[in-house]
Amino acid sequence: MRAKSPNPPTRIRTKVDRDCDRQEEALRQGGNELRAQNERFVAAVETMSHGLAMFDADERMIICNRYYLQIFRLDPDVIKPGVFFLDILRHSVDIGVASQSAEELYAYRQEFIGSCRPATYEEVLADGRVITITHRPTAEGGWVSVYEDVTEKRRVEQALIEQIRRFDAALGNMSQGLLMFDADARLIVRNDRFLDIYRFGPELVTIGQTYAEILGRLSALGIYPGLDAEREARIIGAAMEAGRTYSVQRELSDGRTIAVSHRPVASGGWVSTFEDVTERRQAETRILHMAHHDGLTDLSNRVVFRERLEQAAAAVQRDNYPFAVLSVDLDRFKSVNDTLGHPAGDALLKSVAERLRGCLRASTDAAARLGGDEFAILQPGISTPQDAGTLAARLIETIGRPHELDGRQVTVGVSIGIAVAPMDGDNPDQLLKNADLALYRAKREGRNTYRFFEAEMDATVRSRRELEIDLRGALLRGEFELHYQPIQDLGSGRINGCEALLRWCCPKRGLVSPADFIPVAEEANLIGPIGQWVLDHACTVAAGWPDRKRIAVNVSAVQFQNGLLSQNVLSAIASSGLSPDRLILEITETSLLGESELVAHTLMQLRSMGVRIALDDFGTGYSSLSYLKRFPFDTLKIDRSFVRDLDDVDTAAIVRAIVGLAGRLGISVTAEGVETAAQRSKLKRLGCNEAQGFLIGAPMPEAELFQDRRRRRSWLKALPK
Ligand code: C2E
Ligand code: MG
Ligand code: MG
């Protein structure tokens, strides 16, 4: 309200005066309004979340807000309305905010100032902050600039871009195919590997499709044979809803296997991965096969065979369904390996396995290689044990036929032991053990044959094992001694020499026959040192005998095989001083089997030293007369079984024939086991050169050889003939 004047004017107020007053009032009111508006504008500018500066046509600043000053760290005492834009730039350079010179910044800005179009651009400050500047020309020829610090926004954007780039790279380089579905089961991500795996074009699987649609397509194209797409999609949907991972392996129509896994994600929806596991599956199958089969023959291995045996054993208890276990072992396989080499040995094993398989009923019988040249067969459903015998005979016949190995024909024998469940055992261990015992018997009784398990075999083997244990320390404990049995010349009646026969005086068992312990010593690899002891001892004793009497020493076939015989003989002769021609080595026909070259070579070496060779027990073994021609023998010892049956006309004829043949070959003949004077006379008549037996003298310790006068004389003079 206007204040009233105490003295009213005297002049009458005209209309003009009143108009003037009204105008004045209007102006005053307008000024007030403008001020209020201005104040509101300044307040609005100040509270803006962006920086703002306004310039007039002369590029002088009209107004700016605090945020503008803060962004550019401008000094409010310098930057005031009226300051030139260029001076602001210079000030920002002076305080080190700008990253370029004021002139460069100004030149850049001029483009926008000169144009009347709005523009937005970015400026990077010296400290790395990024400022977005929005430039708007004003009607008066000036402009308004709005400034925003977008540093953080740009950093987040950059990080997001980087993350997306990495995600893309990961997706593109995954060995697995990947599909990602949103909460509505619609496809949102798909990598190229997925298309590769299913050999799809990108148009077949597109963003927005549902999994059921994709499955439907796979099924319609025949890629997933026999798949119910709807049902499968329902199963997956239910699993995802329950928060469970759902994994399956799918066989494609082209034979490949794809491992598919669906995993729910926290934000809803799920990720499906697809991996081609064909090779892994094949490798797994191969490894599984290898774990269950023998690599060389592809027969089952011991583990699988045992499982089959266990199943059969369970069935026999339940249903009384008898079966047989055959333990199969090749005869003298080692000599094939040693003479023809391991590759030939392997080829032979393969060929044997093939024939073995051919003899079985594929659907029921099971065959396995248990190691080396050991095989085993399970023959279920037999009606009588003889069914197993028939199979064994067929195996022996089939495997015994020549095998063609690398253009060479190789023959191998096979020995088989049979145990029949339930009578020979009701568990795998017992049956295998009993089949082995029967096999052992088959081996001992001539090989290339089969034997059924018999209860007493077990006891035999156990006692043999105990014998072996006792035999091991016998040499060191000095439990061996030699007995000597005289050999008489049937022409002169004189004693030509003695055969050394080994005796084992076991403290536990008493005197053990060599027939019992020599085979055990051979098997247990003890014959080498024992044989050497016999040779050394016999040669030393005989060296002291009068009248150049000879000593005959028995040599085991195993001593031949280790190739050390010549060396051992040489060392015995050298250390005893015995003249080599006083030593006779008695070998049996088994020594001649197998590696004939090594045998012939050893015999030649021994002969060249002057040592004599006798073929012992002639007539009991293979009795191949061809041996007599092939190997250089000095003496042939006719087995005592012939002497015993000498009254038999045929036996006498055989002895006569042997003596005749030997005579023609320049070989002397000694008859063993002569117990009666009648036998001796008959043998003499048949042409035998020497006799040995209880009639002339039983084996005796050395001291007894010269004990009484009669014996002493007999060494020097002829005994009664
Ligand atoms: P062999 O070499 O044929 O020895 C002859 C066997 O016949 C001896 O049995 C002997 O005692 C026995 N004998 C001798 N005259 C008669 C007789 O008139 N009637 C009967 N019924 N038997 C007679 P022994 O001593 O039990 O030896 C058995 C076999 O053991 C020997 O048969 C020989 O093959 C082997 N042997 C003995 N000593 C050794 C040795 O030092 N080394 C090797 N490797 N084997 C040996
Ligand atoms: Mg002998
Ligand atoms: Mg003999």
Of the ligands numbered here, which is closest to the C-alpha atom of 501?
Answer: 1
Q: Which one-letter DSSP state was computed for residue 191? A: -
First to last CA, the chain: 184
Q: CA-to-CA distance for 429 and 65, rounded, in angstroms?
A: 99
**458 near 465, Cβ under 8 Å?**
no
Going from the Cα of 616 to the center of ligand 3, the distance in angstroms, rounded, reads 5
pLDDT in tens, 652-688: 999 999 999 899 999 999 999 999 999 999 999 999 9
Q: What is the mean pLDDT of each run of 10 residues along the chain (721 residues)?
A: 48 76 82 84 84 94 94 93 95 94 91 84 94 92 94 93 90 91 92 92 90 88 84 91 93 92 92 94 88 91 93 88 95 83 92 95 91 95 93 96 88 95 92 95 89 88 88 94 96 94 94 93 91 96 90 91 88 96 92 72 91 90 70 92 93 92 93 96 96 95 77 56 40
Of the ligands numbered here, which is closest to the C-alpha atom of 532?
Answer: 1
**450 near 396, Cβ under 8 Å?**
yes
At 372, list the tokens: 């080396």
Q: Which residue, judged by its Cα, is nearest atom 43 of ligand 1?
A: 554
Q: Which residue, judged by its Cα, is nearest atom 42 of ligand 1?
A: 554
Q: Which residue, judged by its Cα, is nearest atom 8 of ligand 1?
A: 501
In DSSP terms, which residues pair with 482 in a beta bridge?
Answer: 502
CATH number for the domain running over 45-171: 3.30.450.20
SS (H, E, C) 83-142: CEHHHHHHHHHHCCCCCCCHHHHHHHHHHHHHCCCCEEEEEECCCCCEEEEEEEECCCCC
Q: Which residue has the tokens 């305080």?
A: 95
Q: CA-to-CA distance for 701 and 19, rounded, in angstroms?
A: 174
In single-letter form, the type of residue at position 392 comes to A
**302-319 and 278-292 are packed helices; what angle lies between their axes, rounded to 10 degrees?**
70
Residue 475: exposed, middle, or buried by beta-carbon count in 10 A (0-12, 13-18, 19+)? middle
Q: CA-to-CA distance for 419 and 451, rounded, in angstroms?
A: 9
Residues of the chain with pLDDT > 70: what percent? 95
Q: CA-to-CA distance for 166 and 238, rounded, in angstroms?
A: 32
Give the pLDDT confidence score for residue 720 in this predicted structure. 43
Pocket test for ligand 1, best of 535, 587, 672, 675 (most atoms within 8 A of CB): 672
Going from the Cα of 586 to the center of ligand 2, the distance in angstroms, rounded, reads 6
From the CB of residue 449, how many other CB atoms can be counted at a distance below 10 Å? 17
**432 near 365, Cβ under 8 Å?**
no
Q: CA-to-CA distance for 64 and 92, rounded, in angstroms?
A: 15
Going from the Cα of 596 to the center of ligand 2, the distance in angstroms, rounded, reads 21
In single-letter form, the type of residue at position 215 comes to L
Q: CA-to-CA distance for 340 and 353, rounded, in angstroms?
A: 19
pLDDT in tens, 56-70: 999 999 999 999 999
Q: Which residue has the tokens 């009204």?
A: 22
Q: Which residue, judged by its Cα, is nearest atom 22 of ligand 1?
A: 673
Going from the Cα of 109 to the center of ligand 2, the distance in angstroms, rounded, reads 126
Q: Which residue, judged by its Cα, is nearest atom 7 of ligand 1?
A: 673
Q: Is the pTM of this model over 0.75?
A: no
Of the ligands numbered here, which is closest to the C-alpha atom of 637?
Answer: 3
In single-letter form, the type of residue at position 496 comes to N
Of the ligands numbered here, which is closest to the C-alpha atom of 617?
Answer: 3
Going from the Cα of 480 to the center of ligand 1, the distance in angstroms, rounded, reads 15
In sequence order, the 6+-apart residues with CB closer than 8 A to the CB of 534 are 480, 482, 500, 502, 553, 554
Q: CA-to-CA distance for 350 and 120, rounded, in angstroms?
A: 86
Ligand 1 nearest-atom number relative to CA 501: 38
pLDDT in tens, 319-364: 888 999 999 999 988 878 877 888 999 999 999 999 999 999 878 8
Give SS3 for 143: strand
From the CB of residue 639, how many other CB atoms can be counted at a distance below 10 Å? 17
Q: Where are the domains of the chain?
A: 45-171, 180-276, 285-453, 481-716
Fold of 285-453: Alpha-Beta Plaits (3.30.70)
Ligand 1 nearest-atom number relative to CA 513: 26
* Side-chain-facing half-sphere of 261: CA atoms under 13 Å: 9
In DSSP terms, which residues pair with 505 in a beta bridge?
Answer: 511
Q: CA-to-CA distance for 701 and 714, rounded, in angstroms?
A: 16
In DSSP terms, which residues pair with 585 in a beta bridge?
Answer: 553, 613
Going from the Cα of 637 to the center of ligand 2, the distance in angstroms, rounded, reads 8
Ligand 1 nearest-atom number relative to CA 485: 14
Going from the Cα of 665 to the center of ligand 3, the distance in angstroms, rounded, reads 21
Here the contacts of 336-340 (C-beta below 8 Å, separation 24 or greater) are 336/410, 336/412, 338/595, 339/595, 340/405, 340/408, 340/410
Of the ligands numbered here, which is closest to the C-alpha atom of 559?
Answer: 1
DSSP string, 423-489: TT-SSHHHHHHHHHHHHHHHHHTTSSSEEE--HHHHHHHHHHHHHHHHHHTTTTTT-EEEEEEEEEE
Give the pLDDT confidence score for residue 578 in this predicted structure. 96
- Determine the longest span between alpha carbons in the chain, in angstroms: 206
Q: Of 3.30.300.30, 3.30.1360.200, 3.40.50.1860, 3.20.20.450, which CATH number belongs to 481-716?
A: 3.20.20.450
Which CATH class for the 180-276 domain? alpha beta
Question: Considering only CA atoms, which of 631, 683, 617 is closest in space to residue 655?
Answer: 683
Question: Considering only CA atoms, which of 517, 387, 528, 497 is closest in space to residue 450?
Answer: 387
Complete edge-to-edge strand list for the sheet that includes strand 323-331? 366-371, 374-380, 323-331, 413-421, 450-452
Site residues for ligand 1, CB cut-off 6 Å: 485, 501-502, 513-515, 518, 534, 554-556, 586, 616-617, 640, 672-675, 693-694, 699
Fold match between domain 285-453 and domain 481-716: no
Residue 485: exposed, middle, or buried by beta-carbon count in 10 A (0-12, 13-18, 19+)? buried
Going from the Cα of 592 to the center of ligand 2, the distance in angstroms, rounded, reads 15
Ligand 1 nearest-atom number relative to CA 502: 38
Going from the Cα of 503 to the center of ligand 1, the distance in angstroms, rounded, reads 10
Going from the Cα of 478 to the center of ligand 1, the distance in angstroms, rounded, reads 21
From the CB of residue 305, how many other CB atoms can be counted at a distance below 10 Å? 24
Of the ligands numbered here, which is closest to the C-alpha atom of 614?
Answer: 2
Q: Which one-letter DSSP state was computed for residue 12? A: P
